[in-house]
Amino acid sequence: MGCHINYTILGMLNLEQHGLAFDKDQLRRLWLTHQSTAMTWGAERTIMVRSAIQHPVAEFAKGKDGPDYVEWTHVCNPSGEYCGALIRADAYGYAAPGNPALAAELAWRDASFTHRRTGVYGTMFVAAAIATAFVERNPLRIFETALQFVPQRSRFFQIVADSLARVRQASDWLDGYERIHGQYRQYSHCQVYPECGTLINTLRFATSIDDGFCKQVSQGNDTDSFGATSGSILGAYFGPGHLDPRWLAPFKDAIRTGLNFFYEGSLSALARRMSTLPRLSLEPDAADAAR
């Protein structure tokens, strides 16, 4: 989950510094400034190393040609179905409450820095779901809406749409889990297909944010990453006051990250800072000021 919070904060910093029109060059510089290679895995680590060696920030800032990001994702990330980009979706959903199209577009721009195809689609799906969860009271409709923002002919769409139908037929969360796992157990724990199915199952049967946490991690798979992702969707859906204080008490309002040059130490202050992201999409002048 430490990796997850790093990426959520990076998304926040990206939007604060560059606004809604950020590009991959800006994202790359942000990563090189704040991200430690030792705190990345998989495609993210490969991209970080290649960024640092092949295109140092100092040279790129002088106007030399930048990277070919499409070529990078093909060479550096053959495992495009994994969830490394998906766990970077949160801040883009927070920034666009009720606007899943914008959330998905921002998530696409971030995810395509390291991933292609399925890895990107999963990120768009989650960002759109978070954005929709702020305004939609029917949990299944949240994911029906989010599916509108991924390619309809993709394998990701077909599997997640099928998972949605299976959850709709389930009698309880355990039945929903068995329906999804029974069909898609061939995929590994970091691949986005069964994970997105369990997110749907969690929100449908959760009675509170903390109940949703427990249901999500009890379904196995990539429990830290998708426990955190479920928290974003559950928090947007249930809103303030639906998390038992016992979950926050052990932190004593302290936040620790693996980021360089990020000095916020208060969890509540960070939450308030995250809560200001929607002004970038709701107030055009704020987006201009961020750039």
For 110, the 3-state DSSP assignment is helix
Whether 263 has a pLDDT exceeding 70, the answer reads yes
Tokens of 119: 């890895």
Task: Average the pLDDT over 166-185 and give the result.
Answer: 96
pLDDT-above-70 percentage for the chain: 85
Rounded to whole angstroms, the Cα distance separating 207 from 43 reads 36
Using alpha carbons, select from 183, 182, 184, 194 the residue that is nearest to residue 221.
194
Rounded to whole angstroms, the Cα distance separating 191 from 118 reads 9
The answer to whether 163 touches 180, Cβ cutoff 8 Å, is yes
Each residue's pLDDT tens digit, 203-230 = 999 999 999 999 999 998 888 889 999 9
Q: How does DSSP classify residue 62?
A: T
Task: Average the pLDDT over 226-254 and give the result.
Answer: 95
Q: Which fold has domain 2-290?
A: ADP-ribosylglycohydrolase fold (1.10.4080)
For 120, the 3-state DSSP assignment is helix
The answer to whether 167 touches 204, Cβ cutoff 8 Å, is yes
Whether 288 has a pLDDT exceeding 80, the answer reads no
Max CA distance (Å), the chain: 60
Q: How does DSSP classify residue 242?
A: -
> Counting Cβ atoms within 10 Å, is residue 172 exposed (0-12), middle (13-18) or buried (19+)?
exposed
Each residue's pLDDT tens digit, 82-102 = 788 899 999 999 999 999 999
pTM, rounded to two decimals: 0.91
Whether 163 has a pLDDT exceeding 60, the answer reads yes
